[in-house]
Amino acid sequence: MTLLTLLIFLSLPPFLLFLSFNNNRKTRFSFPLPSGPKPWPLLGNITDLRSNELWLLVTNWSKRYGDIVYLHLFGQGLVFLNSPPAVIELMERRSAIYSDRAPLVMATDLCGAGHMVAFTRYGEQSRRQRRLMARGLAQPRIPQYHPLIITSTRPLLRALLASSGGDFIPAIRRYAGGLNLNVVYGLQPTRDDDPVLLKVEGATDLLANQITAGGGLWAVDVIPFLKNLPAWFPGASFQRKAAVWKEIIVDSVNFPFSLFKASMNAGTAPPSFCSTLLQESDPATAAFALEEFDIKWTANSMYAASMDTTITFIQHFFLAMIEHPEYLKRAQAELDGVLGAGPARFPTFEDRVHLPFLDALFSETLRWGVPVPLDPDRFNPDRYLEKVDDEIARRRDPRGFVFGFGRRRCPGIHLVESSIWLLLATVIATLDIEKPRDKCGKEIEPDVKFENSVFRTATRFFVVVRPRSDVALRLIEEET
């Protein structure tokens, strides 16, 4: 906070005391709040939080305070759910009550992200957006995206080989960005400096590392009337930042959609999320303008929401493979049995039913590498090959919890599963993955840390990838 903001903040002690601190821990609706660390006057529980691996701290709180832990931050309530029963009770059975978002004035009103799915309040607009995603991403529609997924996946192999022994994250980021633009808009970036790729990547990075960094709580979120301060007012630097950031956010929404509309009007648009939905709409109806507006913002939201989650998942996949090479070898042997040794060809979606261990490896990576922390421990794909009854299998399936719950559950689960499964199958079939070695030939152990407080992205580590065989190398070179 600037000095001026702090003075304004402290000039309203009755208001802030009412919002931030209540000795008997009652809400203004007069029902008890869940237990949690005792808040300080005015500040609430700000001193109880930390900037890295917050989930470990919350796990300790759950042992002391129970399945539901409550904190207070400058007038904002913060609730942690620490068990499946607590999550299911509130997010599933009471989803009509607990599906809303806390208002974030900086991100929505000032930076122009208010129409993104991640920021919309629960109401008519969010329901319209959910219906669009349910239509465009329903399981029966996913096969129409398979060719787009394939064309985005295979070129990644050469990029990984080029980055072998170094930082592989840029290659993964380009893959994820290209895949999303392809599936969402039918756009295929052909180079790293493609303008549409740079625009959407820049906006996504801005949202993650500037606007919502550290939880996204700005002074104007706590004291909303600060949004009325003019940009020239001392202490209103957030207004000047927001004006610049808003242009970037809005441009990242409009630019790819305008390219898509141009291809749609020219009759050259390939099947995509946007084309599927617009082809089912009637431009002659009064509701068309609103539906097109919703499609435009929902499409952009899909891109923003999937970038970091995809990168985090793949990052954990590589980490699991260099820590457990025995599982990599088992998956490669299974793939060779289906594809032919070498492999003789790339895997396809039709091969999946013949690859049970690869499916188990996928499920375990999904559980172990989930971007939102669930304190995973041992990496063991064999757990999914055990003979268990239907109830245990259902509870064990990571798809039941890693994609969220209730009315905020990720609607892109089927698309995510298809794209990530093919990525794992393609990489495992064609590449060997190892730890790098020092000058003496000794393996260099990955130094992995989780420096984000709420998102389980690891610090960067290096891996060595190489073609499994000359046959695999020829496949890669022919494809790219």
227 vs 27, 104, 121, 236, 240, CA distance in Å?
26, 11, 19, 9, 11
Cα separation, 346 vs 426, whole angstroms = 6
pLDDT in tens, 120-142: 888 999 999 999 999 999 999 99
Q: For residue 393, how far is the Cα from the chain centroid?
A: 25
Lowest-pLDDT choice from 13-27, 159-173, 355-369: 13-27
Q: Please report how the helices 413-430 and 146-153 are oriented relative to each other, as an axis angle in degrees rounded to 10.
A: 40
**443 secondary structure, DSSP code:** B
pLDDT in tens, 290-300: 999 999 999 98
- Token readout for 200 is 């959407």
Instruction: Choose between 308 and 99: higher pLDDT.
Output: 99
**280 secondary structure, DSSP code:** T
Residue 167: the pLDDT is 86
List the one residue out of 110, 108, 145, 111 whose CA is nearest residue 126. 108
pLDDT in tens, 436-473: 999 998 999 888 887 766 677 777 788 999 999 999 99
pLDDT band with cut points at 50, 70 and 90 for residue 10:
very low
- Token readout for 236 is 């209103």
Q: Please report how the helices 470-479 and 413-430 are oriented relative to each other, as an axis angle in degrees rounded to 10.
A: 130
Burial of 456 (0-12, 13-18, 19+ CB in 10 A): buried
440 is in an annotated binding site: no
Q: For residue 104, how far is the Cα from the chain centroid?
A: 19
List the one residue out of 471, 375, 337, 364 whose CA is nearest residue 424. 364
CB-based contacts of 90, cutoff 8 Å, min separation 6: 81, 97, 98
DSSP 364-417: HHHHHT-SS--------GGGGGS---HHHHHHH-GGGTTT--GGGS-TTHHHHH
Report angle CA 354, 359, 360 to the nearest 5 degrees. Answer: 125
Task: Give the percent of the chain with pLDDT over 90.
Answer: 52
362 vs 99, 207, 359, 431, 455, CA distance in Å?
29, 29, 5, 17, 20
pLDDT band with cut points at 50, 70 and 90 for residue 44:
confident
DSSP 3-state of 76: strand
Lowest-pLDDT choice from 18-32, 356-370, 406-420: 18-32
Report angle CA 210, 214, 217 to the nearest 5 degrees. Answer: 85
Residue 378: the pLDDT is 87
Does residue 479 contact residue 154 with C-beta atoms inside 8 Å? Answer: yes
CB-based contacts of 261, cutoff 8 Å, min separation 6: none
pLDDT in tens, 414-438: 998 999 999 999 999 999 999 999 9
Does residue 139 contact residue 267 with C-beta atoms inside 8 Å? Answer: no
Residue 20: the pLDDT is 39
Cα separation, 428 vs 393, whole angstroms = 26
Evaluate if residue 365 carries a pLDDT over 80.
yes
**Mean pLDDT computed over every residue of the chain:** 86
DSSP 3-state of 23: coil
Residue 165: the pLDDT is 85
Residue 356: the pLDDT is 97
3-state secondary structure 27-72: CCCCCECCCCCCCECCCECHHHCCCCCHHHHHHHHHHHHCCEEEEE
List the one residue out of 307, 77, 317 whose CA is nearest residue 203. 307
List the one residue out of 288, 303, 194 whose CA is nearest residue 253. 303
Residue 216: the pLDDT is 60
Residue 29: the pLDDT is 43
Residue 359: the pLDDT is 96
**164 secondary structure, DSSP code:** T
pLDDT band with cut points at 50, 70 and 90 for residue 480:
low
Computed from CA positions of residues 171, 173, 174, 178, in that sequence, does the dihedral angle turn out positive or negative? positive
pLDDT band with cut points at 50, 70 and 90 for residue 302:
confident
Mean of the pLDDT values across residues 292-315? Answer: 87
Residue 26: the pLDDT is 44
DSSP 3-state of 238: helix
Cα separation, 316 vs 474, whole angstroms = 28
pLDDT band with cut points at 50, 70 and 90 for residue 31:
low
Evaluate if residue 119 carries a pLDDT over 50.
yes
List the one residue out of 203, 211, 293, 294 whose CA is nearest residue 249. 203
CATH number given to 124-479: 1.10.630.10
Mean of the pLDDT values across residues 19-43? Answer: 65
**What are the residue ranges spanned by the domains of the chain?**
3-82, 124-479
pLDDT in tens, 198-247: 999 899 888 888 888 755 678 888 788 889 999 999 889 999 999 999 99
Does residue 204 contact residue 256 with C-beta atoms inside 8 Å? Answer: no
- Token readout for 36 is 């949690």
Task: Give the percent of the chain with pLDDT over 70.
Answer: 91
pLDDT band with cut points at 50, 70 and 90 for residue 189:
confident
119 vs 31, 57, 81, 220, CA distance in Å?
28, 26, 21, 16
pLDDT in tens, 45-55: 888 888 778 88
